[in-house]
């Protein structure tokens, strides 16, 4: 019988180019180091092994050809419940979503449960799929079940915390731990790849890619300026954006990159003049909130960030001190702000320097892991 005492669960492919995978890596590593090993239950694909063992960690991957999201999620919950029910010695289960929570909280043996709420499924799903209102109500029931019956909740955003409190979740159950970023060598920025601004991350509508493309079209007089879009998605997801870029006559000034590894991404990030996080003014960003990794990773690279003036951004950046904030959903205003920073090189450098210092003080993964370990210490 195994003596491993912890499990980390995520309904996400791991590893992958998504920001979620970075978070999973650091938090699961902290869990396993604190408890001396454990089990990682995640999604897989044809390129990843179903089972993997690394020293005192076992990685179990759920792989399916099912295309329907809800059927896939339900199958994952059933598979996971069976896996967990066979493990006797687990004391702590840390899960990132309701599909892991439904399995864990229905086990025959009581453990300590930590629910890491990075997003609410009931808010996220309608941005990706057409969901019946009755199905959404059922998902909300699942969310409340997981929120009420777990022992501790971790949120990366104070906006998410406020949302949970509005659902009458006990405040003392909730611990705020923002996202973090890895330290990288940001000392020598040489702009060796030419002058470009950069967006990196996923291409969901709420990320504001349409706004960014329209803004970039207003910078045509900067003929040498390029826009680099480093997507964490497969290149097929970018087709509609590429068509819009052609229509806006900016396609020859855009460099598209897809699913870069971390070293490749950091190389582009270090050489960018600035990055853009044009989050839209939607329920997903305003009511639910997030803790944008792209902002923190830009700060770590000593690269200035231009971002939407939303609460989730203001929790990290201070306008004209550690970044530039612009009203969301306004391409002309975004273009004007980028133009200002292109014209004011020293001011741009000062913003980046201030942001980097703030990152070192508050947002390294080492600091986030220290905060997480306090939760593990207290929960037992």
Question: What is the rounded average pLDDT for all residues in the chain?
Answer: 93
- Per DSSP, the residues of 22-51 read HHHHHHHHHHHHHHT-EEEEEE--TTS-SE
Instruction: Tell me what pLDDT residue 55 has.
Output: 87
Instruction: Tell me what pLDDT residue 90 has.
Output: 93
Find the helix or strand (DSSP H, E) in which 17 lies: none
In a domain, 188, yes or no: no
Task: Indicate the number of domains in the chain.
Answer: 2
In a domain, 1, yes or no: no
Instruction: Tell me what pLDDT residue 32 has.
Output: 95
Instruction: Tell me what pLDDT residue 74 has.
Output: 97
Whether residues 323 and 347 fall in one domain: yes
Q: What is the pLDDT of residues 129-175, one digit of tens each?
A: 888 999 999 999 999 999 999 999 999 999 999 999 999 999 999 99
| pLDDT-based confidence at residue 192 (cuts at 50, 70, 90) | low
What CATH number should be reported for the domain holding residue 81?
3.40.50.2000
Q: What are phi and psi of 73, to 5 degrees?
A: -65, -45
In a domain, 49, yes or no: yes
User: Closest Cα to residue 2, out of 64, 72, 84?
Assistant: 84
What region does 173 belong to: left with phi over 0, alpha with psi -120 to 50, or beta? alpha
Whether residues 54 and 160 fall in one domain: yes
Whether residues 273 and 284 fall in one domain: yes
Q: What is the pLDDT of residues 224-253, one digit of tens each?
A: 999 999 998 888 989 999 999 999 999 999
In a domain, 277, yes or no: yes
Instruction: Tell me what pLDDT residue 187 has.
Output: 60
Strand order in the sheet with 174-176: 51-54, 57-62, 38-43, 6-13, 92-95, 112-116, 152-155, 174-176
Q: What is the pLDDT of residues 320-335, one digit of tens each?
A: 999 999 999 999 999 9
Question: How far apart are alpha carbons 204 and 237 in whole angstroms?
Answer: 9
Whether residues 142 and 263 fall in one domain: no
Whether residues 274 and 218 fall in one domain: yes
Segments in the chain forming alpha helices (H): 19-35, 69-85, 98-105, 121-124, 133-149, 158-166, 209-217, 239-247, 262-271, 283, 293-300, 311-314, 331-343, 345-362, 365-379
Query: pTM here?
Result: 0.89
Whether residues 347 and 370 fall in one domain: no
In a domain, 258, yes or no: yes
Six-digit token string for 266? 């950091």
Mean of the pLDDT values across residues 104-109? 94
In a domain, 96, yes or no: yes
User: Closest Cα to residue 42, out of 15, 23, 67, 70?
Assistant: 15
In a domain, 185, yes or no: no
Question: How far apart are alpha carbons 205 and 349 in whole angstroms?
Answer: 30
Whether residues 265 and 244 fall in one domain: yes
Whether residues 350 and 374 fall in one domain: no
Beta carbons within 8 Å of 57's beta carbon, 6+ residues apart: 32, 37, 38, 39, 40
Whether residues 240 and 306 fall in one domain: yes
CB-count burial class (<10 Å; 0-12, 13-18, 19+) for 346: exposed
Whether residues 200 and 300 fall in one domain: yes
- Per DSSP, the residues of 169-215 read --GGGEEE----B-----S----TT-SEEEEEE---GGG-HHHHHHH
Six-digit token string for 91? 């004391």
Whether residues 38 and 154 fall in one domain: yes
pLDDT above 70 (res 257) = yes
In a domain, 27, yes or no: yes
Contact 17, 259 (CB under 8 A): yes
Q: What is the pLDDT of residues 61-102, one digit of tens each?
A: 999 999 999 999 999 999 999 999 999 889 999 999 999 999
| pLDDT-based confidence at residue 17 (cuts at 50, 70, 90) | confident
User: Closest Cα to residue 301, out of 355, 341, 252?
Assistant: 355
Mean of the pLDDT values across residues 12-20? 87
Residue, of 340 and 19, whose pLDDT is higher? 340
pLDDT above 50 (res 1) = no
The range of the structural domain enclosing residue 22 comes to 6-180+364-379
Q: What is the three-class DSSP state of 255?
A: strand
Whether residues 112 and 252 fall in one domain: no
């Amino acid at each position: 019988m195994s003596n491993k005492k912890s499990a980390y669960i995520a309904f996400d492919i791991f590893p992958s180019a998504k920001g979620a995978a970075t978070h999973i890596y650091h938090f699961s590593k902290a869990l396993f180091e604190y408890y001396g090993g454990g089990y990682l239950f995640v999604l897989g694909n044809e390129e990843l092994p179903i089972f993997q063992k690394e020293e005192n960690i076992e990685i179990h991957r759920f792989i399916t050809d099912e295309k329907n999201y809800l059927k896939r999620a339900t199958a994952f919950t059933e598979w996971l419940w069976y896996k967990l029910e066979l493990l006797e010695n687990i004391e702590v289960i840390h899960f990132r979503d309701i599909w892991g929570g439904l399995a864990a909280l229905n086990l025959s043996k009581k453990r300590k449960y930590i629910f890491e709420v990075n997003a609410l499924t009931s808010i996220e799903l309608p941005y990706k799929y057409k969901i019946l209102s009755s199905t959404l109500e059922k998902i909300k029931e699942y969310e409340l079940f997981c929120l009420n019956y777990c022992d501790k909740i971790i949120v990366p955003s104070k906006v998410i915390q406020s949302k949970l409190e509005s659902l009458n979740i006990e405040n003392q159950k909730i611990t705020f731990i923002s996202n973090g970023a890895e330290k990288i060598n940001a000392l020598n920025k040489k702009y060796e790849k030419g002058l470009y601004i950069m967006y990196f991350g996923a291409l969901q509508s709420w990320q504001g890619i349409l706004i960014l493309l329209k803004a970039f079209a207003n910078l045509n007089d900067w003929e040498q300026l390029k826009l680099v879009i480093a997507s964490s998605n497969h290149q097929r997801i970018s087709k509609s954006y590429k068509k819009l870029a052609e229509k806006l006559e900016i396609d020859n000034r855009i460099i598209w990159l897809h699913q870069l590894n971390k070293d490749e991404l950091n190389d582009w990030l270090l050489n960018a003049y600035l990055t853009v996080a044009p989050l839209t003014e939607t329920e997903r960003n305003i009511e639910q909130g997030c803790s944008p990794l792209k902002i923190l990773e830009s700060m770590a690279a000593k690269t200035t960030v231009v971002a939407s003036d939303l609460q989730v951004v203001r929790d990290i950046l201070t306008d004209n001190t550690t970044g530039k904030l612009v009203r969301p959903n306004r391409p002309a205003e975004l273009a004007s702000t980028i133009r200002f920073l292109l014209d004011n090189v020293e001011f741009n450098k000062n913003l980046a320097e201030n942001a980097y210092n703030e990152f070192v003080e508050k947002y390294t993964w080492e600091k986030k892991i220290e905060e997480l370990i306090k939760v593990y210490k207290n929960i037992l």
